[in-house]
Amino acid sequence: MTAAAEENRPLVVAVIGAGPSGIYAAEALTVQSPGAVEVAVIDRLPVPFGLVRYGVAPDHHSIRSIRSTLERTLERPGVAFYGDVTIGRDLVIEELRGVVDAVVYAYGAGADRRLDIPGEDLPGSLGAPEFVAWYCGHPDAHPVAGPAPGADAVEEVDLGRTMIRLVNETTSAVVVGVGNVALDVARVLVKTADELADTDMADQVLESLTAKRITDVHILGRRGPAYTAFTTKELRELGQLPDLDLVVSAADLELDAASLVAVAADKVAARNVAVMREWAARPLTGASRRIHLHFWVRPVEIVGAERVSGIRLERTAISPDGYVVGTGETALLDAELVVRSVGYRGVALPGVPYDAGTGRVPHAEGRVIRDGEFSPDEYVTGWIKRGPTGVIGTNKSDAVETVASLLADVASGRLVPAGRSGELDSLLAGRGLSALDLAAWHRIDAAEVQLGLSHGRSRTTLASRDELLTAAQPPSGSERTDPRPELVHPHPELVEGPSTGSGSGV
């Protein structure tokens, strides 16, 4: 037994990011640790749950219900939620490392990947992370309290209102990429507001969708149907939407020799091809909306003068050395909205080791590598550890691996609890900052349920930060005092840049 364990000092760990990967790390720490452990789960957003709240599509009720399990972990003895605390603004990493025994980075991979083609910055061309943030009611996409769709549309800076205009001026949309996020985006684009009314979408989002005119959504795969990244359950869901034709050509679904090998080796790929073949064999019904699946095409230009009016596609093939190459044969597809859904990308958090090549924090089995050596007190889990892959549950085994490394380091005496209980609270209090705790989340939760019930829904997401902070207020007499609007960091030289979205893209 180590001296620290003998003295019964709790192990104090800060987890950055209150999405599934961070909360699974808190769970693994409290379940696996043989001694006392205190876990502070910190998020820059006022609310916990990261991607479960701000990434999983609102109409995926069963996946979103994982929230209850995550919430139970935040309620565990020894676990505390610290919402509305931005690392890199309110505290820098070095300060945080100075008041806890270990830090676990779990801040996700919230940024967009680009296509690097002409026209990509035209109004009407956007990344899936932005679009998903909008329809999930993320505060970054809703800086102004809603609802105000159609009221006026002057504020270009207001992503929420810009998005409303884009969606309402579109009849034909393109989604680039054949992963699960592309399916989420396509579904939300074709579904009517009535079909989405049983979700917890923010009022301003749902109301804006009532004016939507989209009839056609085109999903583009740069390789063949044997190489989709969809899971079959999510793909099949498209086929269950009423009044919708799925348009896919039988010729596009033919498999060359390499594709036959691919489907033989991958059951999911084989099932996906079978689902799409069944769709190709269905006669079109003349439904009022269509989802088109295109394979062997890649975008080479997004076309438009003031805004997107189309996308130029090039036919593709696989080169003998295995790369996707253009054949030179191009065609123009009319569209007013192009959403690139080609995967997420991790970003650097000021002061945290980061490999720009992989978009991840460098590590081995969750132990962070800083300046070529294992850092004694830094660990990483989730998308910022392994890249943006896997389903929500994948983060659980990932967190278990990281926590096993951390606890092995405690057992070996490499990481020694230093009796730091309460030091984070003292640091925050000394700076005049009051984090939002789980009780604040419960008040927000109750306010969202109440708002939903007031107009016949089971919950309505409060989207803007102001709305969330107002709902988080305790009953009068015990208001939160927090000087953040005027906050000037006491060590400006330590703040290397803006915060990077911890929690939003876990």
Nearer to ligand NAP, 60 or 307 (CB): 60
420 vs 428: CA distance, rounded Å: 14
Query: Nearest residue by C-beta to ligand NAP?
Result: 179
153 vs 169: CA distance, rounded Å: 13
Phi–psi pair at 2, nearest 5 degrees? -75, 165
What residues form DSSP beta bridges with 91?
87
Nearer to ligand NAP, 65 or 389 (CB): 389
Q: Torsion angle of alpha carbons 473, 474, 476, 477, nearest 10°? A: -120
**Residue 256, SS3 per DSSP:** coil
255 vs 28: CA distance, rounded Å: 44
State the SS3 of 258-299.
Answer: HHHHHHHHCHHHHHHHHHHHHHHHCCCCCCCEEEEEECCEEE
Residue 63 Cβ vs ligand NAP, minimum distance, rounded to whole Å: 6
Number of residues that make up the chain: 506
Residue 291 Cβ vs ligand NAP, minimum distance, rounded to whole Å: 16
Nearest CA to 400 out of 376, 384, 382 is that of 382
* Residue 98, token pair as written in the block: 């100075």
Residue 57 Cβ vs ligand NAP, minimum distance, rounded to whole Å: 7
Residue 329 Cβ vs ligand NAP, minimum distance, rounded to whole Å: 17
Nearer to ligand NAP, 234 or 377 (CB): 234
DSSP state of 486: G
Nearer to ligand NAP, 191 or 420 (CB): 191
Residue 367 Cβ vs ligand NAP, minimum distance, rounded to whole Å: 24
Nearer to ligand NAP, 63 or 449 (CB): 63
Residue 176 Cβ vs ligand NAP, minimum distance, rounded to whole Å: 5
What residues form DSSP beta bridges with 87?
91
* Residue 304, token pair as written in the block: 């438009």
Nearer to ligand NAP, 51 or 438 (CB): 51
Residue 70 Cβ vs ligand NAP, minimum distance, rounded to whole Å: 16
Nearer to ligand NAP, 161 or 298 (CB): 298
Nearest CA to 293 out of 230, 337, 336, 343 is that of 230
Cα separations in angstroms, 403 against 67, 126, 408, 410: 21, 37, 8, 10
Burial of residue 151 (number of CB atoms within 10 Å: 0-12, 13-18, 19+): exposed
99 vs 77: CA distance, rounded Å: 20
Nearer to ligand NAP, 45 or 178 (CB): 178
Residue 340 Cβ vs ligand NAP, minimum distance, rounded to whole Å: 8
Residue 104 Cβ vs ligand NAP, minimum distance, rounded to whole Å: 21
Say if CB 303 and CB 312 are below 8 A apart: yes
Binding-site ranges for ligand NAP (CB under 6 A): 60, 63, 115, 176-182, 184, 222-223, 227, 229, 231, 234, 298, 341-344, 388-391
DSSP state of 104: E
Asked, as a colleague might, if the bond just before 147 is cis with ω within 30 of 0, I would say yes
Residue 239 Cβ vs ligand NAP, minimum distance, rounded to whole Å: 15
Nearer to ligand NAP, 388 or 503 (CB): 388
Nearer to ligand NAP, 60 or 236 (CB): 60
Nearer to ligand NAP, 42 or 176 (CB): 176
Residue 205 Cβ vs ligand NAP, minimum distance, rounded to whole Å: 18
**Residue 44, SS3 per DSSP:** coil
